């Protein structure tokens, strides 16, 4: 038997060093505007054509304060940061290619109990709720894969202009729960988001690899980016209706649905949380 068939017998092998990466650093990007009120559009642009970002490993930081009037107890719901936004969008190439648009991102996620142990800082702490500081302040650090499934499937560096758009929800009722201490009390809660910033993981490859990558970019070579994405479609039924027909559009070959989750709600939208 040849000794190279099993690694345990390859005692004369050479040591291989991975020097493909020269440096890794974190860069911070801020929105063009500093207004984070309800219905505001928060846009963060990365416009670097000669750098390579591990966007799949990057994070969104959201911090602020809960302002309470009344003596009720206020707590966040699980996944509260995602409920702060009505939609999130990721675009490549200066607006020419919309990669993913997620409506109501707070309702999409499904994690294991092990995930909950390291995602508490991201607002996912099921079956517990995210903690609010005694002074009402909060800080969440959320992986971009928490919003966009492309970064869970496509784990490759990205070069070029990237635009992230986060649209604030029209109200924050889905983000917290208020427990009144007395039947007659009436506690009101307002969320004041004070800071939003994007933490991007930047990769500096060694010169030979960088040169080949930039040659491919200059030649406008096609890049295949396979990934799965969620899509939510809402159908409002007429009062008293006992049946209805719902046509859901799909695109063959390019987009192929894997499965469908149907949920029925009674009440006024957008009260998604239980």
Average pLDDT over residues 50-62: 95
Average pLDDT over residues 185-196: 92
The terminus-to-terminus CA distance of the chain in angstroms comes to 63
In tens, the pLDDT along 169-179 reads: 999 999 999 98
> Is residue 249 predicted with pLDDT exceeding 80?
no
pLDDT at residue 266, rounded to an integer: 66
pLDDT at residue 267, rounded to an integer: 60
Please, what is the Cα angle at 171 between 190 and 264, to 5 degrees? 135
Q: 207 falls in which pLDDT band (50, 70, 90)?
A: very high
- Contacting residues for 90 by C-beta, under 8 A, at least 6 apart: 98, 99, 100, 101, 148, 150, 162, 163, 164, 165
- Contacting residues for 112 by C-beta, under 8 A, at least 6 apart: none
In tens, the pLDDT along 80-133 reads: 999 999 999 999 987 678 899 999 888 877 788 888 888 989 999 888 878 888
Average pLDDT over residues 72-78: 90
Average pLDDT, the chain: 86
Please, what is the Cα angle at 122 between 116 and 128, to 5 degrees? 45
Other Cβ atoms closer than 10 A to 82: 25
What are the phi and psi torsion angles at 24 (to 5°)? -130, 135
Other Cβ atoms closer than 10 A to 160: 18
What is the rounded CA–CA span in Å between residue 30 and residue 54?
Answer: 18
What token pair was written down for 225?
A: 């980016």
Least confident of 134-148, 153-167, 196-210, 223-237: 223-237
> Is residue 273 predicted with pLDDT exceeding 60?
no
Percent of the chain with pLDDT over 90: 48
What are the phi and psi torsion angles at 44 (to 5°)? -120, 125
What token pair was written down for 236?
A: 């409002």
Element (H, E) at 63: strand 59-69
pLDDT at residue 274, rounded to an integer: 43
In tens, the pLDDT along 140-167 reads: 999 999 999 999 999 999 998 999 999 9
Other Cβ atoms closer than 10 A to 49: 10
Least confident of 34-38, 155-159, 181-185: 181-185
**Fold held by 16-218:** Adenovirus Type 2 Hexon; domain 4 (2.70.9)
> Is residue 3 predicted with pLDDT exceeding 80?
no
Residues 130, 141 contacting (CB under 8 angstroms): no
How do the residues of the chain divide into helix, strand and coil, expressed in percent and rounded to 5? 15, 35, 50
Q: 66 falls in which pLDDT band (50, 70, 90)?
A: very high
Residues 167, 36 contacting (CB under 8 angstroms): no
Question: Residue ranges of the domains in the chain?
Answer: 16-218
* Half-sphere CA count of 200, side-chain side, radius 13 A: 24
What is the rounded CA–CA span in Å between residue 88 and residue 92?
Answer: 14
């Amino acid at each position: 038997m040849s000794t190279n068939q099993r690694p345990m017998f390859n005692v004369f092998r050479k040591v291989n060093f991975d020097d493909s990466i020269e440096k890794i650093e974190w860069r911070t990007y801020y929105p063009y505007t500093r207004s984070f009120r309800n219905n505001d559009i928060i846009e963060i642009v990365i416009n670097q054509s000669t750098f390579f970002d591990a966007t799949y490993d990057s994070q969104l930081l959201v911090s602020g304060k809960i302002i309470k009037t009344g003596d009720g107890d206020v707590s966040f719901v699980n996944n509260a940061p995602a409920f702060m936004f009505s939609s999130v969008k990721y675009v490549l190439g200066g607006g020419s290619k919309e990669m993913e648009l997620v409506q109501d991102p707070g309702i999409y996620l499904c994690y294991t109990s092990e995930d909950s142990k390291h995602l508490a800082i991201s607002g996912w702490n099921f079956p517990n709720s995210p903690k609010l500081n005694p002074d009402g302040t909060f800080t969440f650090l959320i992986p971009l894969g928490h919003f966009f499934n492309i970064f869970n499937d496509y784990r490759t560096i990205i070069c070029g202009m990237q635009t992230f758009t986060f649209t604030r929800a029209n109200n924050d009722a889905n983000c917290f729960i208020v427990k009144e201490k007395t039947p007659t009390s009436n506690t009101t809660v307002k969320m004041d988001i004070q800071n939003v910033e994007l933490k991007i993981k930047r990769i500096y490859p060694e010169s030979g690899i960088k040169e080949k990558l930039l040659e491919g970019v200059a030649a406008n070579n096609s890049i295949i980016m396979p990934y799965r994405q969620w899509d939510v479609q809402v159908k409002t039924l007429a009062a008293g209706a006992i049946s209805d027909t719902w046509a859901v559009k799909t695109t063959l070959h390019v987009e192929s649905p894997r499965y469908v989750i149907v949920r029925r709600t009674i009440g006024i939208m957008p009260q998604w949380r239980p």
